Each structure stands twice: as structure tokens, then as C-alpha cells.
Structure 1
């Protein structure tokens, strides 16, 4: 049996770090939406009780360190599945980019195995299982648009944003979320106006959304990687209405209403850094 699953990237419309918890994690509040830049997951049942992962990437392991592998293992354990699975990942989303590439692959595995093996778990159950593996996985299980709270495991769905184009630009570096969070001092952070962003989604107000997007981690990543700030400035100069770093970075996105303008910004960024994408919202 074979099952295919799409694993779309996410961008953060907001990322706020509220406090450090006693367990060492941070309580966060993040509004995210999915975009049409996606990995492709192929799942094939194996009669032998083992998990195999195949992909071509210099930067992503294909063993038990891979989040998709961990998701399959957690799923098999949770639902007492004795069959095995071969997971083929076609990577399109750049790695360590702040776009949730590993998390969305793991989420796609959870959704896909649920269908492949007719387990009939609910989305909420799959999201809770994903939360035991990584903080972005619960949102990626749901997809669309939503706010994640706690360490990322509490998900509330939100209306989709008004339609717009997204230009993504990633410098030729990778950023570790763990490294960035280790440098967080909550008292020194700039906190985005989360309520105003939620209002803009309900009102379908593009200008209000662009005026309020914000990321508490951006200043930390920029201090370590100044090229992120240079990409932001270049994208603002090119005319994007809302410009922000996604996740812990280093990818910067620009929000643009008109396709022709988005194409011009995409072309100008192509001369500035290597990994540039022009995508639509699917959230």
C-alpha cells in the first residue's frame, strides 16, 4: 500500500516569547499560516517491523534523528502497529530556515499513516502526539492558519488571511532554534501585538496585518547573522508591504497584494540571495 501526503511550509505572522518555564522551555504565542512551498511524502507499508527513511539532502539525516522517523515510531507505538513503513521525502523546503520543514514532514507522516493504516485518529489526537516530538508539529498537523500557545502544543484555528503573495528569501546559512532560544531574555524582547493580528485576520485587512506582524526572536538572530537585516532592508526597498523573519530564521518573507509587483520583488531578490521563492498562501 502507498499513500502520498503534501507537507507545506509555514510562516510566522507573529512569534512572541512570553516567559521561560521551569522545565527549560519557553511559553510562546505564535500565529502561523501555511504557504504553497511543500515537501512531498510517500509512505509505503512494509511487512517487516521497521522504519526506513530515504531522501536526498546533505543536511537532513535519514535515521532515527529525522523527525519523520520519530513521528512514525511514535505513531506505531501509540496505536500498537506491528507493520513497518518506508518514508520517502522529496525535499523542497530549505533546511534550518524557520519554515518548519522538518516539522511539516513529521506532521505529514502522522496524517498519512493515520490514513494508510485506517487508524481513524482525530486531528487533535495526531497533533497531541506530534507535540511529544517537536513544538511546531501540532500546528503543522492542523495546517491552515492558527495560533499556537504553550510551547506550541495548544492550537486554536483562525480565519485565513486576506489573499496575497509571499516572497521568501533565505540567506546561505542555517539557524538552530535551540541556539536562538538559549539567548532569549524575555524582559529585553519586543513583543508583537498579537490581538491586532488576530483582528486583521477576522477583518481580512491586509494593511492592518502588515502593520502588526512581529517576531520577538528577530533581533537575536539579526545580532548573530546581520545578513538577515540586509535582506529585510532590500525587500522593504523593493516594495513589499509587510516584511518579517519567519520562526528563528534566517528566512525573510515579504507580503505583496499584486502578482506583478510580487514578481518584480522576487526578481530583485534573486540577484541578492540564492534561495528565493514566490508562493501563494494555502492557509
Structure 2
């Protein structure tokens, strides 16, 4: 097959807890990850001449060796001795520097796309073992769906899918450094920890209100302090009928859970008119893996 197109789905965190900072500098986490219907599109074209070319539709997103797409393609090429070349074109929809794993999910799509294009025969588990070299979120993005992520994010356990609902996603016009957030999080002094085990229990119940009530993200303690507009968007969504709202990842993206498509779209319009965020989407959970 000489041309393949893959979707790279964004994620949100229904729960995010940080247990401690490890001696190697990484943080030990317990997170509940959820794929959503907002996605980037990657188109792979095989070439006889060796080499990797990455082209993006965003000027601020280079296609050079710093791009996780390139890094994933290079890792696969080197590991499996791929002699042919690949051209990868990215159509970017997921907000960047947003806490939605946009770079990681693009890298995950490279594993899927090149596995198929070059008939590597890799299982999901084999791809995940290799992918952690690219980033801690990449193995989850390879699997997708609803999962508990532990360790540095690479130890994954499948969970029951999120109940049907509509998600309002808003990224304010700021970029948040994940490194900054973790460096300013003092895990040993935290007074608040999200109820991750409680969220796992209520996911089995399929009761949307119970799931919404258990949302929690310990990284808000850092990001909201520096960027109060995150809390402002959360409050606005709840005032506009969200069952609850939460920051995703290290932020600044906020998502609100709605039980009505109409109410979610009404809130989207109100949020845009209020000027609180430039990138605003209504989408749904994606509960099946890739």
C-alpha cells in the first residue's frame, strides 16, 4: 500500500493525580485517560528512495527532527531496517500546547500508519513498548479509548468506556509548558488528591452525573494559579449547563461535560461571544481503541 491516512485522536483526563517525584526526575502518576472525537489527520506516502519527510499545515509547527512525528518515524525506520522512504503530511486540528496529547497522538498514528504501510506485523503491545521512548503518553495514544495510566503514564489498564455525552472543549489563547507545571508541583505537600479509584468505580455504573462529580486534576493547583482564566472558563461552562468542567492535562484546555447536544452548542456560542477562548469545539468521547 503506497498511501495511508490515519486519524490521531486527542485525549482528555477524567482524573489526574501525581503521587511523587521519582529519583530519575519523572513523576509517578495515576491518570484516567479518555479519547475524544477531535483529531488530527496524517497521510503517509511511501517512496522508493530512503528518507523521512514531514510536512505540517501550521507554520509554527516544524517538520524537522524536533517533531514527534519525525522521531517516531525515525525510530521505526532504524529499529526495523526500513529501506524505503516515507512522506508524512499532517493536518492539525488538535490545539497545540493544550494538555490534549496532540504531539503524542500524532506520534502514535505514525506507529499505526507505518506498521500497516511497511507490513511490520507489530502488535499493540509491541508498539507500546517501543513508543515509550518517544514519550510517556504515546503508548496510551496507541491504544486509545478509556484507560488507567500509572507509572510515568506507560502502565495501562483498560477501563469501561465513558458514558455517552457531549464535550465542550475550549483552549484559551495561552500556551502552558508541561515542564513548568511539573517543576512547580510539590507532590509531597499536596493537600488534595483526585479520587481515581472512585472514578474507576463510577465508570462501571455508566451514570454520567456520577462520572462528572468525580472529575479531578491535581495539576490545576499550579496552572490555575498562574493562569486564572482556566478557572474562569470552568465556571463559565458550569454556568452554561455543564454537569462539571475540568482542565485537561497540564492545561490550559478546559472541557465541560453536557448531557444535551443542544446545550453544549449553546454554551459553545456563549463562550465564543464572551471571548474567553479562541479554539472551541463540541465533540464526544471515543470509547473504542484504535
Please report the TM-score for the alignment, with normalisation by the length of structure 1.
0.98
Following superposition, the deviation at residue 250 of structure 1 comes to 0.2
Tell whether 2:276 aligns with 1:275.
Answer: no
Provide closer, same or farther for how the CA distance between residues 58 and 188 of structure 1 changes in structure 2, counting only shifts above 3 A: farther
Partner SS, residue 94 of structure 1:
coil
Q: Which runs of 5+ in 1 are unaligned?
A: none
Task: Quote the offset at 1:59 in angstroms.
Answer: 2.7
2:188 aligned residue: 187
CA distance in structure 2 between the partners assigned to 1:229 and 1:28 by the alignment: 23
Provide the rounded CA distance (Å) in 2 between the counterparts of 1:72 and 1:153: 20
Q: Is the 8 A contact 1:131 1:152 kept in 2?
A: no
Structure 1 ranges of 4+ moved more than 4 A: none
| Partner in structure 2 of residue 12 of structure 1 | 13
Q: How many residues align?
A: 283
Are residues 1:264 and 2:266 paired? Answer: yes
Q: Secondary structure at the match of 2:83?
A: coil
Counterpart in 1 of 2:199? 197
Q: Any gaps of 5 or more consecutive residues in structure 2?
A: none
Deviates more, 1:61-70 or 1:73-82: 73-82
Distance 2:107 2:195 in 1: 30
TM-score (norm 2): 0.95
Query: How far has the Cα of 1:128 moved from its partner?
Result: 1.5
- Are positions 1:236 and 2:263 aligned together? no
CA distance in 1, matches of 2:252, 2:79: 35
Q: Could you tell me which of 208, 219, 222 is aligned with 1:206?
A: 208
Deviates more, 1:188-197 or 1:209-218: 188-197
Q: Shift in Å at residue 193 of structure 1?
A: 0.3
1:59 corresponds to: 60
Q: Distance in 2 between matches of 1:208 and 1:13?
A: 12
